[in-house]
Amino acid sequence: MNKIYLDYTATTPVDRRVIDAMSPYLDGTFGNASSIHAFGREAKASLENGRDKLAGFLGVRSSELFFTSGGTESDNTALLGIAAKCEDTRKKHIVVSSIEHHAILHGADSLRRKGFKVSIVHVDPEGFVSSEEIEKVMTEETILVSIIHANNEIGSVQRLSELSGIVHSRGALLHTDAVQSFCKIPLDLTSSGVDLASFSAHKLYGPKGIGALYVRRGVDVEPLLHGGAQERNRRPGTESVFMAVGFAKAAELASAELSNESTRLSRLNTSMRTKISEEVPEAIFNSPGHDAIPNILSVSIDSSKMEIDGEALIINMDLEGIAVSSGSACSSGSLQPSHVIKALGRDDATTMATVRFSFGRFTTEEEVVTAVDHFIGIVRRIGKRKKVISPVS
């Protein structure tokens, strides 16, 4: 059986060109970047070269970017690090959206337990945050607003420039989780006006275990860890030079191929959306048809029209050799309905009957055709259509 991988939003395979770029740093250039001898200086130069490349793709200064273990650490550092600087002041208010990654939502919960106030801004039925709603909940005590750039489950892209204007006018900082958007759509952090932004290498064909956090010059963040002066005292611990090199190479390749790849993935997305809408009238598309990254298509089965076991739907797809998910990989194994799909206004049964298709660099048109045919067949086989009772005239 030929397996088809359509879960690129959860993670991506490491591109062979990235592996080739990393390999020399596993045995040849192995020095500690903090050492002052020749081995260390060589490693340090490679580390900083990787940082410079990433900063260039983002339109920021290299000094404003430091490496982390991934998106979750970057999100937590942004949220908890800013809060820690304000712990002894009266400014203890955080604003987040209802469709944030759990790294932000759970981080906000931990701050709430420490006495911070947390406001959750709801989204519209297409997954977009309203700047008016953000402005409405902000107070003089607000220190940080965190809004995900491209949502990891439905793909909706927020208007950062518009949001940053509102946030800054009220004297607060704006953080965005850009893990899913980086190198999938154009992103210039300086022009967007954000103050902090999170990234991760494994979402763009780089290695797992490395990410980055952008912190605008002049913004002070308390480090989560202590014990060393690495990363300009923001993230202690021996830097992983080979992964930083891989991260930079992955971003270089994705940036160079962004335009063509975006067009190709949009075409695959549209063809799947069209076929499902024609063949499955019970389908509801959670991914908006505009202002979204092109590689995500989230589909739910309307519980008012059909009864279907969402878990069985995913398992049956897997039995056919097709890897898809119901939502965030960080929620896998959970029987709870997705908070993102619920935020769109879906009921629990519809939310549970959700499939997220996500495409990537190695996805072919043939694979998409095969996947959508199996999806349609499985829905028809295991779903039970509900009878529509016509109103009495």
How would you class 336 by CB atoms within 10 Å of its CB: exposed for 0-12, middle for 13-18, buried for 19 or more? exposed
- Three-class DSSP labels, 207-230: CCCCEEEEECCCCCCCCCCCCCCH
Supply the residues annotated as catalytic: 330
> How many beta carbons lie within 10 A of that of residue 162, not counting itself?
15
d(CA 194, CA 173): 8
CA 327 → CA 21, 218, 276, distances in Å?
32, 36, 18
Q: Which residue has the tokens 């519809």?
A: 350
How would you class 235 by CB atoms within 10 Å of its CB: exposed for 0-12, middle for 13-18, buried for 19 or more? buried
* 8 Å CB contact between 143 and 93: yes
| SS3 (DSSP) at 67 | strand
